Structure 1
């Protein structure tokens, strides 16, 4: 999950806490990234390059 824009690092942390929690359940995994100050189109193109 990619988050873009102001406050995106905080949003990424909240998503990690909700989905992964304390990490004790290995079945609960989600790859997250935040991209503050990066243009949306650039982040979108990065995702497209990863098959998103």
Structure 2
């Protein structure tokens, strides 16, 4: 896969019209090995352009 290639396509308006949340939880099990910087949490972002979570 190349950066920017869609992994899947969804009908977002249909899903949201049914009251289904599109929030996806992410669990990082080895978080103690990295410094985490959160950016844009709670904001709308554009895939391939905006950073949500950055690990160093």
TM-score (ref. length: structure 2): 0.25
Greater relative CO (CA pairs within 8 A, separation 6+): 1
TM-score (ref. length: structure 1): 0.26
Structure with the greater alpha carbon radius of gyration:
2
